[in-house]
Amino acid sequence: MAHATRDAEGFVRNITNIPEDEDFVVYGTIHAHPGSADALEAVYAETTRLAQDEPGTVYYCICRVRTLPLYVLGDLQWPV
């Protein structure tokens, strides 16, 4: 099973033990600082566009929750 190493603030800094015989999926919530949600959304729009052409990417989706303006949700999947 994959293991995430976090820093003192709780941010993921490293992922180890990524499975070699099954798909690898990452789910997450991204928190924007007040006033930076629009800029964060723009960065992830470009990241999403670029990831679509990455070899092995099955699904890559980052979406903004308009009712929670400082939250962006991610769902990423790569096959082994």
Q: Is 3 inside a domain boundary?
A: no
Per-residue pLDDT band for 80 (boundaries 50, 70, 90) equals: very low
* Domain extent at residue 29: 20-78
Q: Is the pLDDT of residue 27 over 80?
A: no
* pLDDT one-digit tens code per residue, 37-61: 888 888 888 888 888 787 777 777 7
Residues in contact with 30: Cβ distance below 8 Å, sequence separation at least 6, in sequence order? 40, 44, 62, 71, 72, 73, 74
Q: Is 74 inside a domain boundary?
A: yes
CATH number of the domain that residue 47 is part of:
3.30.70.100
Q: Is the pLDDT of residue 36 over 70?
A: yes
- pLDDT at res. 24: 76
Mean pLDDT of the chain: 76
Q: Is 4 inside a domain boundary?
A: no
Q: How far is 63 from 71, CA to CA, in rounded Å?
A: 9
Q: Is 33 inside a domain boundary?
A: yes
Domain count, the chain: 1
Q: Is 54 inside a domain boundary?
A: yes
